[in-house]
């Protein structure tokens, strides 16, 4: 009985994603072969959407080097931004959980930061900092910090009254309550925030790159370059690497969550 249930469970977890993947690839082929003027009459090369099997035709030499260099730059930007967001976000979440007036003072500004379009921030960043690595990181932090702050705050505020009373009865300091109760209790929520922010940090690093148009080209600038030069294959590969980067960070945090949170919380699965 348990054996049958395991097979059923495996089938459910495999069949669904495989079916969606097959549907996606089929739709991709359908679009590639139904578009007018998708293939060059002279060389036969795809111009707009390359079919999946022809995606890596131009992935060699300079193109490959440029993509890997851009990937390294965007990865560095995303990871630096995410690391700053994680430290600053958890700190702000903890700070806001200490008193209602601190929460009320900071919350509106964080929401304002969250809803401000990135295109409105980039010119200011260029004027203040220049079109350099630091500016890109600042943009990444602005985009990715909010889920970490809100989830840290939510996690700490979710500690049940009984547990808070238990620590109060022992006259614990704020630091002891934070370290022994609030942070461990909030850790599943913090990791959920980190996973969301990991995706946003990649978006921040790439979208910010689109707007900077100067400095070392990351994946965003490279996509623009391939687009302007009608190199649709490399453009798709670059986008694919951007997706993989986001996915790796998302899965990475899932793994860290599993190690740190362990088996006590139901969210500690990949």
Task: Give the binding site for other proteins (CB under 8 A).
Answer: 160, 162-163, 165-170, 172, 176, 180-181, 184-185, 261-265
Task: Between 184 and 215, name the residue whose CB sits nearer to other proteins.
Answer: 184
Query: Closest distance between other proteins and the C-beta of residue 48, in Å?
Result: 52
Q: Please name which of 187, 200, 188 lies closest in space to residue 249, comparing C-alpha atoms.
A: 200
Q: Is 46 helix (H, G, I), strand (E, B) or coil?
A: strand
Task: Between 60 and 161, name the residue whose CB sits nearer to other proteins.
Answer: 161
Query: Closest distance between other proteins and the C-beta of residue 261, in Å?
Result: 8
CA max distance for the chain:
82
Task: Between 53 and 168, name the residue whose CB sits nearer to other proteins.
Answer: 168
Query: Closest distance between other proteins and the C-beta of residue 154, in Å?
Result: 17
Q: Please name which of 114, 87, 77 lies closest in space to residue 204, comparing C-alpha atoms.
A: 77
CA distance 242 to 227: 15
- Which residue(s) pair with 39 in the sheet? 46
Task: Between 180 and 214, name the residue whose CB sits nearer to other proteins.
Answer: 180
Q: Please name which of 145, 139, 131 lies closest in space to residue 91, comparing C-alpha atoms.
A: 145
Query: Closest distance between other proteins and the C-beta of residue 96, in Å?
Result: 23
């Amino acid at each position: 009985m348990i054996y049958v249930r395991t097979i059923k469970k495996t089938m459910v977890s495999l069949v669904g994603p495989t079916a969606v993947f097959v549907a996606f690839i089929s739709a991709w082929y359908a679009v590639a072969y139904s578009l007018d003027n998708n293939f060059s009459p002279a060389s036969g090369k795809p111009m707009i959407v390359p079919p999946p099997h022809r995606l890596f035709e131009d992935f060699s030499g300079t193109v490959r080097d440029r993509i890997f260099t851009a990937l390294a730059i965007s990865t560095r930007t995303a990871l630096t931004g995410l690391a700053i967001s994680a430290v600053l976000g958890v700190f702000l979440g903890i700070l806001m959980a200490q008193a209602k007036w601190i929460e009320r003072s900071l919350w509106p500004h964080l929401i304002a930061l969250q809803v401000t379009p990135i295109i409105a921030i980039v010119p200011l960043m260029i004027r203040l900092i220049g079109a350099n690595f630091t500016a890109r990181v600042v943009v990444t932090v602005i985009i990715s910090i909010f889920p970490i702050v809100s989830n840290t705050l939510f996690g700490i505020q979710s500690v049940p009254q009984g547990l808070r009373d238990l620590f109060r009865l022992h006259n614990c300091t704020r630091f002891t309550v934070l370290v022994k109760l609030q942070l461990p209790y909030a850790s599943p929520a913090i990791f959920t925030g980190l996973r969301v922010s990991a995706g946003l940090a990649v978006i921040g690093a790439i979208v910010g790159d689109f707007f900077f148009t100067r400095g070392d080209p990351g994946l965003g600038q490279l996509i623009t370059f391939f687009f302007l030069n009608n190199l649709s294959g490399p453009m798709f590969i670059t986008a694919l690497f951007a997706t993989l980067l986001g996915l790796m960070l998302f899965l990475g945090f899932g793994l860290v969550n599993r190690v740190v949170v362990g088996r006590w919380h139901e969210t500690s699965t990949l």
